[in-house]
Chains A and B, each alone.
Chain A
Amino acid sequence: MSRISAEEVKHVANLARLAVTEEEVQKFTQQLDKIISFAEQLNELDTENVEPTSHVLDMKNVMREDVPVKGLPREEVLKNAPEHENGQIKVPSIIE
């Protein structure tokens, strides 16, 4: 049985904000199924009492003084923006 359906692939693509073609949905369904079934070998291990590792170094929150510094100059910020107008980044309308 497949571990991930075409419908789920479409749902995940939407969460990831990726437009996908029907062809890609088919391909991803097949490939992700293979990778996920490979990943399920982890279930051979009993990890009931194992703490998860999100970070290898023994670090807690790293604090620093809150020192105000100047923000980036506007022209620098806009330098790489695909579209801008009147010193602001422009996007298509959000509200209909």
Chain B
Amino acid sequence: MSLFDQKLSSLQESLHKKEISVTDLVDESYKRIDQVEDKVQAFLTLDEESARQKAIELDKKLGTDDAKGLLFGMPIGIKDNIVTRNLRTTAASKILENFDPIYDATVVQKLQTANSITIGKLNMDEFAMGSSTENSGFQKTKNPWNLETVPGGSSGGSAAAVAAGEVLFSLGSDTGGSIRQPASFCGVVGLKPTYGRVSRFGLIAFASSLDQIGPITRNVEDNAYLLQAISGLDPMDSTSANVDVPNFVQSLTGDVKGLKIAVPKEYLGEGVKEEVKQSVLDALKTLEKLGATWEEVSLPHSKYALATYYLLSSSEASANLARFDGVRYGYRSPNADNLMDLYKNTRAEGFGEEVKRRIMLGTFALSSGYYDAYYKKAQKVRTLIKQDFENIFAKYDVIVGPTTPTPAFKIGENTADPMTMYLNDILTIPVNLAGVPGISVPCGFSNGLPLGLQIIGKHFDESTVYRVAHAFEQATDFHKQKPQL
């Protein structure tokens, strides 16, 4: 029995009653890491000394008025594309192998205010480009449910560490599904917030109009707490939204009576495995029993989302990754006599294959003569995809479907052809293009591998998404099952 089998609110209660200490929680993390990390390989960097120091400081505050903060004493893991001051941050790229940030991301500052404890930095696909964490420049993270399968990606380390009980919860980032897809593969809860809900300041940029940081947890309530702690307008990110942050935990009423659910036929169509479809249909029955109703609808432009996404995200990435040039920070090629060769060789030696491929695609789509045909065309189709969602949300409260077309696949199974890997994100990508929030919650198993239910909401309506996810979770026991490691 792990302390992390309890939910955050119970752990808070035990802490404040002094039944457990913050040091006990940090011990739990590092003990578990000792036991399973050589199998799971979720972490790129551990911060044990600072974590233990902080635990001692917080333990001294227990029983006093200073023992406050929404996440007091809670051990967290952070995806390695979120910068942490004086704690190595690599984005899983050789080009940033020894990068030691001089500031904290806004979300990291907010975690400090909430008094959580950072256990370490988590593996990912290099620069968040990938769906299996196999594109990491350093190591391959394994799925705790079956070590021969991938944990998903790009936040594979973040999802695997939570599923394996190495941390209570973690932060990931989601550009086309990178929180929800690994959450689904690892049987945990992952939310991509509305674009603008959480500051991106200090998130190493992949595609700036799509990227969002979000929470990965063992249950919906903890997810709501973590989102509460990291949300809000930030003067350092002018795309963070000036909207009220509601009390997300209060929205977990368990009541979904009268809720109107839309189920896009495109999300249960070709390419979606039979057992995945069945788990979603079973979930809809559960929600019906709780008083919700559902109807089949159409998001007619869904089939164009993948092409739109790869053109836009790669274009934005080609611009964002121009900063890695071997001059001010990061890797510098020793093989250069002039500045141009320094740029070219540094980037050729520092970036992995998938990152180069996307830089090439993006540079092509933005280049003279092709801009209108590819980049601008994709921006226009993005408008149509966004309108699909607006049309549905005029009549329905949430959209429900699978998170991924299949359960976790075998390591190495999809690496030969980039296009087959890209198909993994076909059900999550439209959500990023529209900028709306989406969550993945456990909804079944297939051959011992978890399946995820995706619930999508209106702009800034994470409360309804959480309410539905929580009601479903409380009516089922998929989230109570743990991988045997």
Contact = CB atoms under 8 A, between A and B. Distances in A.
B359 interface: yes
Interface in A45-84: 45, 47, 50-57, 59, 62, 64, 72, 76-77, 79-83
B192 to A, nearest CB: 13
B364 A51 contact: no
Nearest to A76: B102
Contact of B364 (A12, A41, A45): A12
- Taking residues whose C-beta sits less than 8 angstroms from the other chain, chain B's interface range is 35 or more
B100 A92 contact: no
A4 interface: yes
Residue in A17, A24, A36, A40 with the greatest tally of chain B CB atoms within 10 Å: A17
B286 interface: no
A56 B100 contact: no
Contact of A82 (B241, B331, B361, B367): B331
A78 to B, nearest CB: 9
Interface string B416-454: 001100000000000001110000000000000000000
B359 A18 contact: yes
A51 B381 CA distance: 9
Nearest to A55: B209
B239 interface: yes
Interface residues of A, number: 51
Contacts of B209: 54-56
Contacts of B459: 56-57
Interface stretch (B153-161, B344-352, B470-478): B344-352
Contacts of A26: none
B380 interface: yes
Contact of B360 (A16, A43, A59): A16
Contact of B102 (A43, A51, A79, A94): A79
Contacts of A79: 100, 102
B334 to A, nearest CB: 10
B338 A4 contact: no
Contacts of B342: 91-92
Contact of A52 (B306, B337, B343, B380): B380
B330 interface: yes
A32 B361 contact: yes
Contacts of B378: 39, 42
Please classify the interface of chain B as helix (H, G, I), strand (E, B), loop, or mixed, using the class held by over half of its residues: helix
Interface string A1-38: 00010001100110111111000100010011011101
The secondary-structure label for the interface of chain A is: loop
B304 A42 contact: yes
Nearest to A35: B361
A56 B386 contact: yes
Contact of A57 (B196, B331, B363, B377): B196
B332 A12 contact: no
Contacts of B238: 59, 62
Interface in B361-403: 361, 363-364, 367, 374, 376-384, 386
A71 B431 CA distance: 38
A55 to B, nearest CB: 6
A89 B308 CA distance: 40
A75 to B, nearest CB: 10
B225 interface: no
A86 interface: no
B318 A16 contact: yes
Contact of A92 (B303, B304, B337, B376): B337
Interface of B: 98-100, 102, 195-196, 209, 235, 238-239, 241, 301, 303-304, 306-308, 310-311, 318, 322, 325-332, 336-345, 347-348, 351, 356-357, 359-361, 363-364, 367, 374, 376-384, 386, 418-419, 433-435, 459
13 contacts: A12-B363, A16-B360, A19-B345, A35-B310, A45-B301, A51-B380, A52-B380, A53-B386, A56-B459, A57-B241, A64-B235, A80-B328, A81-B327
Given A4-B364, A55-B239, 5 more contacts: A18-B347, A20-B348, A39-B311, A39-B374, A47-B380
Interface of A: 4, 8-9, 12-13, 15-20, 24, 28, 31-32, 34-36, 38-45, 47, 50-57, 59, 62, 64, 72, 76-77, 79-83, 89, 91-94
